[in-house]
Amino acid sequence: MTVTWTVTPVGYQHIAKRCPACNVKRDFAPSGAIRVNSQKKLLDIWSIYKCTRCDYTWNIALFSRLHVSKINRELLQRLLQNDAAMVHYYAADLATLKRNRSEPSGNLIFVFTSNGRLR
């Protein structure tokens, strides 16, 4: 007999970074917006973060100078639509945070649910 559990984060993972406007290290939270810029066949894709104190914005690079043929079409479509699941994914992706010289901050809250069926 097994029960399947689903673990879902509530809110976004914050990151700690020096805020130029506040002039101290502050928490930044994803705004929920993802931007895509193309120059010829190269894409730059980033997620926009905001200082939780003053709303100063900072762009965290998800992909830089990526040839359009190298990205999965479904992934690109989800990014263009500001898919909340993609924002959650990249906000918690340690490799992306490391590439952008940032670190996770605070504790993320999770909700646990089960399917209620025993197998």
Q: Look at residue 71 and tell me if it is in a domain.
A: yes
pLDDT digit string, tens, across residues 51-72: 999 999 999 999 999 999 999 9
pTM, full prediction: 0.81
Which residues span the domain enclosing 78?
14-103
| Run of H or E residues at 90 | helix 84-92
Whether 18 maps to a domain, the answer reads yes
Q: Is residue 113 part of a domain?
A: no
8-60 per-position pLDDT tens digit: 778 888 999 999 999 999 999 999 999 999 999 999 999 999 999 999 999 99
Q: Give the CB-side neighbour count of residue 62, counting CA atoms within 13 A.
A: 25
Q: How many domains does the chain contain in total?
A: 1
Q: How far apart are CA 76 and CA 52, in angstroms?
A: 28
